[in-house]
Copies of this chain bind each other. A is one copy, B any other.
Amino acid sequence: MKTTENEKQKEETVEGEKTKEAPRTRRPKENVVFVGSKPPMSYVLAIITNLSASDSKEITLKARGRAISTAVDAAEITRRRFMKDLKVSQIALGTEEMPPREGESRGRMTSTVEITLARE
């Protein structure tokens, strides 16, 4: 849960730098949980909280690299144990280039996944 909020905040800050005068607009339809290196249950909680708090019937899990397995775990645990009316409505694979680490000349390619869960 905390991760989600932190990442959202980060995004908003970056946005704020570009268009400082622009009014803050929440994207009400975009429910996103960023999956990182915490245990899957943290993200299960984030998904359930997010779906309960909003009127949205959809939520998207986004993950990169090693966290992809955790995203699948979180989706499966939520679906099978907690919200049995939740279905996987879409899965998209992708590749992103990460900035090179120190001493490396080229960036590394990382796989990404976006899993969308929807209530029936």
A44 interface residue per 8 A CB criterion: no
A33 interface residue per 8 A CB criterion: no
Q: How many copies does the complex hold?
A: 2
| B67, B73, B111: the one within 8 Å of A76 (CB) | B111
* Interface bin, chain A: 20 to 34
Min Cβ gap A104→B in Å is 18
In the complex, which residues 41-69 of chain A have their Cβ closer than 8 Å to any Cβ of chain B?
A: 65-69
Which residues does chain B contribute within 8 Å of A80, judged by CB atoms? 95, 109
A72 interface residue per 8 A CB criterion: yes
Which residues does chain B contribute within 8 Å of A113, judged by CB atoms? 72
Is there contact, CB below 8 Å, between A76 and B88? no
A98 interface residue per 8 A CB criterion: no
Min Cβ gap A72→B in Å is 4
**A67 and B69 alpha carbons, distance in the complex (Å):** 7
